[in-house]
Chain A
Amino acid sequence: MIPVIFFVTIMVFTLMHLIPGDPAYVMLGEEASPEAVEALRKELGLDRSLPIQYFAWMRKAVKGDLGRSIKNNVKILDTILARLPITAYLAVSAVVFSILIGLPAGIIAGVRPKTAIDVVATVLAMAGIAMPSFWLGILLIFFFAFKLEWLPILGYVSPAEDLWDSLRHMVLPAITLGASMAATNTRFIRSSMLDVMNKEYITTARSKGLKEIGIIRGHALKNALIPVVTMLGLQIAMLFGGALVVETIFAIPGLGRLIVDAIFARDFPMVQGIVLFMAVFVLTANFIVDILYSFLDPRIRLGR
């Protein structure tokens, strides 16, 4: 994992130094005098060589100092940590939605393949994967907020402020972000169930005269869900990506919105900080999932 993180930092650093334009000019404005720009460049360390700048940046980053925004001088890590809970709330809501839909749909489709219900689930899942989240979000707003007026259109309300209102605001964003995940989960659980239902221990359970529901609950589901845990790990990266779009559509002040705003404000230290934070977060989450996975499936642990 260490070399991977090293490459991540190199990539983020290089990327942000490819950007044309001098950060000192961005901070001082185009009319700044050359002397003032030069002085600021010196203060920021921009006059030093790239490797030295990289190590200086890394030394601070390891200590949790990602620098300051060049737009409003706030500490970057503090801003990220302030926005993270909002994105986490959105992400957890989306995951809950995707499991509520994907789990039953996948199980039924996998246990009863080639029936009408399987075909419906499969077609809906294919549609869910092809549906761009930004389009789904717009359609949901149009129907549920504008036409039917069941739910609020945009915005974010903290659950600490008003839990009910907060949940009402979170319904459409969670569905928008969770739809493609629900679709992927359905397909994945379906094929996993299909696979498990053909195993000999299921035939044995059937020949013992166990009821179908008992077989599914006691034997099939446990084994079928193991690979799904890996999926959840992979989906963390997708959630961050999706948050960019969903938070923009629904005006939610999370990390996704923060990075989009930072890009338009040309606040590149902020972009750099968020991108680095997200990548390290994803790596750590995947690492934890790997460990979980080996606990869930002893075959992997013993295989190593």
Chain B
Amino acid sequence: MNETLGIIRRYLEQGILAKAGLGIVFLIILFAIFGPMFVRFGPTEQDLSIVLNAPDSRHLLGTDELGRDILARVAYGARNSLFIGIISVGMAMVMGVTIGLLAGYWRGVLDRLIASLMDAMLAFPPLVLAIAISAALGPGYLSIMIAIGIVFTPFFGRLVRGVVLSVREMEYVLGARAIGTRDVKIILRHILPNIAAPIIIQVSLGLAYAILVEAGLSFLGVGLTPPAPSWGSMLRDGYGYMQMAPSMAISPGVAIFVTVLGFNFVGDGIRDALDPTQQRVFKETEQ
């Protein structure tokens, strides 16, 4: 507990970027949860009498080519982006940690097989693998989440495997094994707590990246099916109306940019809070 408090304290002691990141992420989550409740229009509500309108007091970000309220679509899009990001990174974490633990702890043939499989998955450009998987599974929420989840699994797997390989040789693990502690207990009690820190960092940076990949898939037209609001597909639609209604492309773009920036700041902040050696480099250069 004290250790957790220490990490939080070290996080908050950092510069403006870490604090700003926390603020941004907090606001985005609030926006995704409560935003849709406060907007006056539904995300798919069309009004063909007001297409491509500039922002005004009724439609704060203007309207799109079907007269839909852009603010409403950005708000519901936030929900979709965060939801897909969290579930897919969660899936990647569970799968990656499991296979990373299996490979790192038992080593041998299993390790070599898993390591080769992970290397194979990393050979695919992330967006290419994601687009191929979601094309194979068909459109929809679930297939995007599975696609991004699979793409991110080796990132977690590789990370966990590496940490486990070094932790399993630590004296306290060797000691536990020497007194006959069962493997499952060693993994849960001694190894998992040690790999928590790098996993948390990876989750935060992974969320940023997952949101980018989801937006990329929707932008290319293989993400959520229209008219479901997604920042990526809004950008693609807005691209065609850049001259007439710039808000259509600018609004979702800003939303993606700010969200990804926020999660990146938080990820970097947690990494610096957890890794005192990195701090030392900074301290030394300050002198």
Binary CB contact string for chain A from 1 to 43 against chain B (1 if under 8 A, 0 otherwise): 0011111100110011011100000000000000000000000
Which B residues are in CB contact (< 8 Å) with A15? 132-133, 136
Q: How many angstroms between the C-alpha atoms of A242 and B249 in the bound complex?
A: 19
Residue B90, interface by CB 8 Å: no
Q: How far, in whole Å, are A237 and B257 apart by their CA atoms in the complex?
A: 22
Are A263's CB and B131's CB within 8 A?
Answer: yes
- Supposing A11-B121, A142-B246 touch, asked if A245 and B216 sit within 8 A by C-beta, the answer is yes
B interface secondary structure, majority: helix
Interface residues on A, range: 35 or more
Could you give, for residues 120-144 of chain B, a 1 whenever the CB lies within 8 Å of some chain A CB and a 0 otherwise?
1111111111011101111000000
Q: Which of B116, B127, B135 is A3 in contact with, Cβ under 8 Å?
A: B116
User: Are B265's CB and A126's CB within 8 A?
Assistant: yes
**Most A Cβ at <10 Å: residue of B243, B253, B258, B286:** B253
Whether B136 contacts A19 by the Cβ 8 Å rule is yes
The residues of B that contact A282 with a CB separation of less than 8 Å are: 123-125
Q: Is the CB of A249 within 8 A of B239?
A: yes
In the bound assembly, the distance between CA atoms of A51 and B220 in angstroms comes to 33
Residue of A at shortest CB range from B129? A275
- Give the residue of A6, A114, A146 whose beta carbon is less than 8 angstroms from that of B242: A146
Cβ-defined contact, A260 with B120, below 8 A = no
B126 engages A114 (CB within 8 Å): no
Known: A19-B135, A132-B216. A264 touches B221 (CB 8 A): yes
Interface size class of chain B, counting residues whose CB lies under 8 Å from the partner chain: 35 or more
What chain A residues lie within 8 Å of B220 (beta carbons)?
A: 244-245, 248, 260
Measured between beta carbons, the chain A residues less than 8 angstroms from B117 are 7
Interface centre among B17, B120, B212, B253, by most chain A C-beta atoms within 10 angstroms, is B120
- Within 8 Å CB of A5, what residues of B? 120
Decide yes or no whether B222 CB sits under 8 A from chain A: yes
In the bound complex, CA of A260 to CA of B222 (Å): 9
CA gap between A114 and B282 in the complex, in Å: 9
A244 to B282 CA separation, bound complex (whole angstroms): 38
Interchain CA distance A248-B238 in the complex, whole Å: 15
Contact present for B123 and A16 (CB under 8 Å): no
Partner of B249, one of A133, A138, A283: A138
Enumerate 25 A-B pairs (CB-CB under 8 Å) in ascending A order: A3-B113, A4-B120, A4-B123, A7-B121, A16-B136, A19-B135, A113-B282, A126-B264, A126-B265, A130-B258, A130-B264, A132-B260, A134-B215, A134-B232, A134-B236, A135-B257, A142-B249, A198-B285, A237-B123, A241-B125, A241-B128, A278-B125, A279-B124, A282-B123, A283-B123
A-side interface residues toward B, CB under 8 Å?
A: 3-8, 11-12, 15-16, 18-20, 113-114, 126-127, 129-135, 138-139, 141-142, 146, 194-195, 197-198, 237-242, 244-245, 248-249, 259-260, 263-264, 271, 275, 278-280, 282-283, 286
B residues neighboring A (CB under 8 Å):
17, 112-113, 116-117, 119-129, 131-133, 135-138, 208, 212, 215-216, 219-222, 232, 235-236, 238-239, 242-243, 246, 249, 253, 256-258, 260-261, 264-265, 281-282, 284-286
Please give 15 more A-B residue pairs, beta carbons under 8 A apart, in addition to A18-B137, A198-B281, A263-B132.
Answer: A11-B121, A15-B133, A20-B138, A127-B257, A130-B208, A132-B219, A133-B216, A134-B232, A135-B257, A194-B285, A241-B125, A245-B220, A249-B239, A263-B131, A275-B128
